[in-house]
Amino acid sequence: MIITLTANPSLDRTIELAAPLARGAVQRATANRQESGGKGVNVCRALSAGGAEALAILPGHEDDPVLTGLHSAGVPYRNLPIAAALRSNVTLTEPDGTTTKINEPGPALNQREADALIDLVVELSDDARWLVLAGSLPPGLAPDYYAEVVRAVRNRHGDRAPLIALDASEAALIAAIENNAAPDLLKPNAEELSQLTGLGVGDSLEDQQDLAVEAATRLLARGVRSVLATLGSKGALLVTADGAWHAQHPPITAISTVGAGDSALAGYLLAQTRGASAPDCLRQAVAHGSAAASLPGSTVPALHQTTPDAVTVRVLASTHASPNHP
């Protein structure tokens, strides 16, 4: 079982434009779609589409459109009832794949609701293999909320605690690393790696790789076991105590990049839970992310829509550490 926590879920509306976005003008859309979203929800949707046993945990009233959307899609979930409506996000996609997102802040959670959400995660993570903490935090939650979740789960379950994957940004990301709650798997992009370590992003692929490997290595020294860094069209990196690898898919026609990183994380977890090696976990992550980017809106790919055999994986570095990786 893989469990995901989405503290700030959303109803994601994607509007496809027939021409480049023109500020101040009136434009007609060629298509639109609506899906339940938020990073953890997207990961759970992709895991379910890949045949994994997964469960999404999120706040929201039972009749909220986000939850009814999950029910209609057959995605398992457990919700913490709250009175306020969940947020909506709007994405505009242009013909060349350029994506513009407008994200609402989401409803505020009070302390009682915040604590109850942690209790629900602790309860349902018993016997889970992975716990994924993903996405932004809603108003009312402190930046170290994910760190609180990690400590609560590990304190309750001890050696039986699930492996923990974290995909967050800005203050929530920094707080988790700095509050003795390092995840087993961290999934940043290049900008988020820079936020964590102060290293630059780099312009060329070679510079990005060098900086990302250096940044990930610093994070390993702070307790993170594996770093899966997505680099957009330039592929992704995986850095563990055993080494570092870069993987890239042949060029695709990008329709929407919304949720591509979430699908990449799901692809990694699908491969890892089936016993794949570190390079093959990275291969499936890139295959999933590329497939997602070629689909409209925040549509997640099924396994048969991914092409891992087309992904090229290169070894960048290696160590003599234990061969285990999460």
The domain ranges of the chain are 2-318
What tens digit of pLDDT does each residue of 251-289 get?
988 888 888 999 999 999 999 999 999 999 999 999 999
Question: Band of the pLDDT at 190, cuts 50, 70, 90?
Answer: confident
Q: Report in angstroms the alpha-carbon separations of 268 from 65, 130, 241, 263, 272.
A: 29, 12, 17, 9, 6
Residue 119: active-site member: no
Least confident stretch, 128-132, 249-253, 311-315, 319-323: 319-323
R_g of the chain computed on alpha carbons? 19
Is the pLDDT reported for residue 199 higher than 80?
Answer: no
The predicted structure's pLDDT at residue 223: 92
Is the pLDDT score of 67 beyond 90? Answer: yes
The CA distance from 249 to 39, in Å, is 22
**Please, are residues 144 and 137 in contact by the beta-carbon 8 Å criterion?**
no
pLDDT (0 to 100) of residue 202: 64
101 DSSP β-pair partners: 91
Mean pLDDT, residues 127-146 taken together: 95
106, 139 in Cβ contact below 8 A? yes
* Spatial distance between the Cα atoms of 7 and 9, rounded to a whole number of angstroms: 6
Q: Which residue has the tokens 């290293």?
A: 199
Residue 317: per-residue pLDDT: 65
pLDDT band at 321 (very low <50, low <70, confident <90, very high): very low
Give the residue, 189 or 167, on which the prediction is more confident: 167
The tokens for 63 are: 């009749």
User: Is 323's pLDDT higher than 60?
Assistant: no
Of 112, 168, 159, 160, the C-alpha closest to 137 is: 168
What is the DSSP secondary-structure string of 2-19? EEEE-SS-EEEEEEEESS
- Give dist(CA 153, CA 123) in Å, integer: 9
Identify the pLDDT of residue 201: 65
Superfamily classification of domain 2-318: Ribokinase (3.40.1190.20)
Select the more confidently predicted residue: 197 or 320: 197
**How do beta strands 87-93 and 77-80 pair?**
unpaired
Percent of the chain scoring above 90 in pLDDT: 73
Which residue in 12, 144, 242, 262 is the catalytic one? 262
For residues 170-202, one letter each, b for 16 or more C-beta atoms within 10 angstroms of the residue's C-beta and e for the rest, the string is eebbbbbbeeebbbbbbbbbbebbbbbbebeeb
In this prediction, residue 198 carries a pLDDT of 76
pTM listed for this prediction? 0.92
- Render pLDDT for 3-51 as a digit per residue (tens, 0 to 9): 999 999 999 999 999 999 999 999 999 999 899 999 999 999 999 999 9
Phi, psi (5° rounding) for residue 93?
Answer: -115, 135
